[in-house]
Structure 1
């Protein structure tokens, strides 16, 4: 083992582990994305496929990733490429397993690096808006909140100052390791996040009907929890599945990464249940009880349904402006978003840092600051596009989010499930029950995880592919909704695709080299290795 590699880093307490895992899962996907996804897909109608996806995809894959991570940690592996190689080579020849490991490692690195390349920008936006809220920048009756948002993301000073602040803080935290950095910050940020959320829920649910007798906070809750089956669509179903992956941070390798620092006797099942429960509490109880009631009471259902991604940064400030103590509640809301985004970014940042540390055989601290440089480089087009065009268009950002933040997560999740259920023995699969207070029954592995979960993933991926082809999302020359061709759209969309492919290819090559170097003996013999 290199002098730079160590197995001493790890979780200091079970509470720290659960809070860090919750911080990984509870992020902008819960408080920013979920409300507009639910509102835009029929409210209660969205919740039906959402809960089905949670039970058939979210929980099974969450438990599987916890055990995959613990298995990898036993082999002193902390990234997903080598982990899946070690699982696959139990049934396959190592040279075949190497391909699975390399591709999985490349996919995972591309997902984590590229999501965080734009995710850290949003974290910066939330910090900026927290400051603007507390100082009352959008409280004037004549303030155009859409123009304010566009101006804020096209102002070079604001964009780079708040983005760099976020990146420097992330680099510092991750350089301190799992126990000394991520766990300590999660123990502070997560309780504060939940406290802020509870305060905002109380404020939201006591709003009443301030602008229109037909609009109220309670009617907003009814919109979420009373399904209108006529609004149940296949598009909403796909969105719900993607939201489960994005929200729980599954299919990213992050759960596996954090779980690789578990002790052998740690309870994987209870830890998984706790992570899912804390995430869902934040998403469907807190987030849904803040954003949708406030939006419904002040702006009405029509505006709420059509707001889309702009709901948080453009639509909600209009509501905060009219609320009693709106300046305070607005500041608290955006500070909550900053904490949520930061804790999730820590996990993404930690993964790519560990990848570089293992691949390049350098210390965690050095790798952390090098990775900051990578984020500055890869994330620069996100800032440059909004600064240059002054229109608020985010073609580069949107293209990465379309493929990396949605599509690739499902692909990696499918690979994980196939490897886990078909290339390791049922005895190995059921090892996740070791040390568990509540053990999962055998049908969980032989029926749900082996057949139902992958089948659902295949159906969703197939439908998503067809939808993307029909919508023109895969076209070499992308067009606007009216069929027009904007040269700037073409440039930024294809730049995002080039960056995405380049990062994936380079990461796959380096993962391949790492596995070949570390497991040269097995690969030379090329005989399956039974555990």
Structure 2
């Protein structure tokens, strides 16, 4: 097996980790979460969650990767042979995410080119779901699926994205991932700054920003403290959910990336820099998005709440509408926005696939070339499913279940297994030895108590909601097949990889627990 690569510099690692964390959700999810959960007041639970969950888990995974010096399955195996299956489950979660995330990046590539002549027209919703994605009217019925065939306009950019991914990953960690991160991340920040500057100078921008930032403390406080929201606790859980999903924790990315660190590289400082860079980008994106939404609301005579959306609807329906109404340079600023989506999505996609490549290289002693060929080949074939007319519906279901019942539960199990059944202070001390500042015992409390409790509550809420309400009113067979069974299969395959297939790599460097 090839000698394990390392990052060329500390900056390269931080930028690569930030590239993983800063993804599509930072642009199309975070602004709406803030708006819908108390506006400026949401920053209180957000930063509380960042300090009590986000950064502690980030430092934990940095430590696991450094100590284990391998992919997630290998690193966790070196902590304890009983932990290997969890590493493979996180790898399988990355496999599922890869196959649909690449499709969304392909949509952004298409819309980047559509921006120049506003090809989406006036009815942007019909263009997305009809002309571009070709979603059949009866895509999923009580009796089955109508896939609607492969859409060439989606398949071609998908192939282009896979070609770019293959080229970067084939070149390796230092010459591929690190180099592209050093180029793309500064470009992404510049693009977003340019977009924000344009957005806040639009007429009506202040209306959107007022809706976003005006604090409503009644939303986040219990009644005995003057709160007005009977479901105030859900706002705090939303903050934990946002931090959890936006930092790329609990699905093996940060374990994998940190395994390429120089053993003398600062850990704690790097973790804080990366976490706050991610949050800074989220706030920057939120300002730009809601300034543009305010402009849209004023221009069309609508209310902000009627324009504000999250997810695919914001990026590919609402924003094209906003771009249509720009007073000048519509195509240019549309291209800026969608190029930002492409870069954010592409750097995140690379990090997700690297988890798979590292695991396959370690387990089966494959060269990087062999692992890249195998992983990219399999993922690319499966991803074609999302280029069909039913792709966006399949994506919606799979994404919902893999996030709520894959990532959240794997994160909970990671904290319980490593926090309770391994001397977690060992990880903290190892991190402190090479860091500019030390992390105290509060970190142990977060890892062993506070954060697992929050994830346990999130898991309970997710199950309670799922078992009482059909997600988006999809038929039971669709939720069963591409939801529950899909998640269960990832776990079954993970256990099989852990206990049936033997390591071809030396894993006898098991980390001491004392």
- Shift in Å, 1:124: 0.4
| SS of corresponding position for 1:437 | coil
How many residue pairs get aligned? The number is 480
Query: Could you tell me which residue of structure 1 aligns to residue 51 of structure 2?
Result: 55
Does structure 2 conserve the Cα–Cα contact (< 8 Å) formed by 1:292 and 1:304? no
- Shift in Å, 1:491: 4.1
Query: Could you tell me which residue of structure 2 aligns to residue 263 of structure 1?
Result: 262
- Shift in Å, 1:502: 2.9
Choose the corresponding residue for 2:353, options 349, 352, 361.
349
Q: Does 1:314 align with 2:317?
A: yes
Choose the corresponding residue for 2:499, options 506, 512, 526.
512
Choose the corresponding residue for 1:169, options 164, 167, 172.
164
Please give the alpha-carbon distance, in whole angstroms, between the structure 1 residues aligned to 2:24 and 2:509: 42
Distance 1:369 1:55, change over 3 A: same
Distance 1:238 1:465, change over 3 A: farther
1:342-391 deviations in Å (ceiling 9; x for gaps): 0000100111111222223211112112212211232232222437xxxx
| SS of corresponding position for 1:313 | helix
Distance 1:163 1:239, change over 3 A: farther
Question: In terms of mean alpha carbon deviation, does 461-470 or 430-439 score higher?
Answer: 461-470
Query: Could you tell me which residue of structure 2 aligns to residue 207 of structure 1?
Result: 202
Query: Could you tell me which residue of structure 1 aligns to residue 190 of structure 2?
Result: 195
- Shift in Å, 1:37: 3.3
Does structure 2 conserve the Cα–Cα contact (< 8 Å) formed by 1:420 and 1:429? no
TM-score normalised to structure 1 length? 0.84
| SS of corresponding position for 1:417 | helix
Distance 1:17 1:307, change over 3 A: closer
Please give the alpha-carbon distance, in whole angstroms, between the structure 1 residues aligned to 2:372 and 2:311: 34
Distance 1:402 1:235, change over 3 A: farther
Query: Could you tell me which residue of structure 2 aligns to residue 469 of structure 1?
Result: 467
Q: Does 1:295 align with 2:287?
A: no
Choose the corresponding residue for 2:380, options 376, 382, 407.
376
1:32-59 deviations in Å (ceiling 9; x for gaps): 2222333344544544433332222111
Matches within 5 A, 1:384-463: 384-386=388-390, 394-425=392-423, 426-445=425-444, 447-463=445-461
Choose the corresponding residue for 2:3, options 2, 6, 13.
6
| SS of corresponding position for 2:29 | helix
Matches within 5 A, 1:4-43: 4-7=1-4, 9-43=5-39
- Shift in Å, 1:412: 1.8
Please give the alpha-carbon distance, in whole angstroms, between the structure 2 residues aligned to 1:428 and 1:442: 12
Choose the corresponding residue for 1:121, options 97, 100, 103.
103
Please give the alpha-carbon distance, in whole angstroms, between the structure 1 residues aligned to 2:237 and 2:466: 12
Query: Could you tell me which residue of structure 2 aligns to residue 490 of structure 1?
Result: 477
Distance 1:494 1:237, change over 3 A: farther
Query: Could you tell me which residue of structure 2 aligns to residue 214 of structure 1?
Result: none
| SS of corresponding position for 2:133 | helix
Matches within 5 A, 1:133-282: 133-138=115-120, 140=121, 143-150=122-129, 151-154=131-134, 156-209=151-204, 217-232=205-220, 233=231, 234-282=233-281
Please give the alpha-carbon distance, in whole angstroms, between the structure 2 residues aligned to 1:305 and 1:522: 52
Please give the alpha-carbon distance, in whole angstroms, between the structure 2 residues aligned to 1:202 and 1:281: 16
Query: Could you tell me which residue of structure 2 aligns to residue 84 of structure 1?
Result: 76
Choose the corresponding residue for 1:367, options 356, 371, 374.
371
Please give the alpha-carbon distance, in whole angstroms, between the structure 2 residues aligned to 1:43 and 1:283: 14
| SS of corresponding position for 1:29 | helix
1:327-352 deviations in Å (ceiling 9; x for gaps): 11111100011000000001001111
Q: Does 1:66 align with 2:28?
A: no
Does structure 2 conserve the Cα–Cα contact (< 8 Å) formed by 1:168 and 1:372? no
- Shift in Å, 1:440: 1.0
Structure 1 unpaired stretches of 5+: 90-96, 210-216, 388-393, 474-478
Please give the alpha-carbon distance, in whole angstroms, between the structure 1 residues aligned to 2:376 and 2:316: 26
Does structure 2 conserve the Cα–Cα contact (< 8 Å) formed by 1:320 and 1:326? yes
Any runs of at least 4 consecutive aligned residues in structure 1 with deviations exceeding 6 A, and if so which?
519-523
- Shift in Å, 1:149: 0.8
Structure 2 unpaired stretches of 5+: 135-149, 221-230, 298-302
Does structure 1 conserve the Cα–Cα contact (< 8 Å) formed by 2:362 and 2:504? no
- Shift in Å, 1:122: 0.5
Does structure 2 conserve the Cα–Cα contact (< 8 Å) formed by 1:130 and 1:335? yes
Please give the alpha-carbon distance, in whole angstroms, between the structure 2 residues aligned to 1:178 and 1:62: 20
RMSD: 2.5
- Shift in Å, 1:168: 1.5
Please give the alpha-carbon distance, in whole angstroms, between the structure 1 residues aligned to 2:369 and 2:360: 11
